[in-house]
Amino acid sequence: MAAGSAPPRVTTHRFFLPPASFSAGQVQFSQEASHQIVRVLRLRPHDEVIALDGTGLEYVVRLEELQPIVIGDISEGRANQAEPQTHVTLHLGMLKAAKLELVLQKGTEIGVSRFVPMLTERSVAAEPGAARQRRFDTIVREAAEQCGRGRIPEVGTPLPLSDALTQVTGQKILLWEDERGTGLGDLPLDAGAPVDLFVGPEGGFSPTEVALARDAGATPVSLGRRILRAETAAMVAAALVLAGVADLGGDLQARPEP
Ligand code: SAM
């Protein structure tokens, strides 16, 4: 390092990159990540960042070349410590784009592993086109980078409720504001066992859909006497489930030091 040049910095800037970017102890950053590193973050040679291959592994990377594309040397590889132990899928009645994007961002921070927009009787929002779907993928990737996750949650293409109910294997929980017997907090949850949460659109689920869900083995539950907006109910339910399995605000001792 040249005399008088600034010392290297260890940063927590994180970048999900395709697996092909990692080879022979080196990482080649994408055009987009290179632009972020050089033009936005103004990082310098020998600064360190975190690169993730999306499988749950993360790598400490020392930047070597910044032009024309950023290339760095891997100094350490390790398992990410922030991935939820319980796989929560959030099936959400189609919402207007801005509300859906809010749930994608906050749900990723909370620890949701998969999002499935659903076509229901009372859905008002249109199905997203390819550009919108790509934007959803960017939102969950950036949220996963920001909150320190080791995987990018999947955002599925919209499915009718009936298909969504039959395609899942986890514990099916239907959020229903008219449920008076069972609260979400009353349900036994097994840490590590997958959970599928079903949240209605703004207009809620129809009685036919509630019956269909029951027949498919879903348990209707209440979140309490207040009627929450669909986006709020989605985030609250995901947080309560992950807290219920000690993955949110839970037993940090169980998790190794970061
Ligand atoms: N149909 C209702 C209405 O328009 O008066 C409200 C629907 S609510 C805005 C949208 C979705 O959020 C519901 O389908 C349900 O999944 C969920 N939700 C909202 N409040 C809830 C509560 N207190 N208990 C359980 N689910 C709730």
* pLDDT the model gives residue 252: 56
pTM, whole model, 2 decimals?
A: 0.92
Distance CA 166, CA 216 (A): 7
DSSP 8-state code for residue 137? H
* pLDDT the model gives residue 11: 80
Assess contact for 162 and 116: CB atoms under 8 A: no
User: What is the residue with the minimal CA distance to atom 5 of ligand 1?
Assistant: 203
- The model's pLDDT over 86-122, given as tens digits with 9 standing for 90+, comes to 999 999 999 998 999 999 999 999 999 999 999 999 9
| pLDDT category of residue 41 using cuts at 50, 70 and 90 | very high
| CB of 177 shorter than 6 A to ligand 1 | yes
DSSP string, 57-101: EEEEEEEEE-SSS-EEEEEEEEE-S-S-SS-EEEEEE---HHHHH
When pLDDT is averaged across residues 54-78 and rounded to a whole number, the result is 96
User: How far does the centroid of ligand 1 lie from the alpha carbon of residue 166, in Å?
Assistant: 22
Answer yes or no: is pLDDT of 255 > 60: no
Answer yes or no: is pLDDT of 65 > 80: yes
Which of 91, 92, 175, 225 should be mutated for ligand 1, with most atoms under 8 A from CB?
A: 175
Distance CA 244, CA 234 (A): 15
* pLDDT the model gives residue 247: 80
Distance CA 58, CA 56 (A): 7
| CB of 230 shorter than 6 A to ligand 1 | yes
Across 53-206, the runs of DSSP E, i.e. the strands, are 57-65, 71-79, 88-93, 114-119, 154-155, 159-160, 171-175, 195-199
Tell me the HSE value of 125 on the side-chain side, using a 13 A CA sphere.
23
User: What is the residue with the minimal CA distance to atom 1 of ligand 1?
Assistant: 204
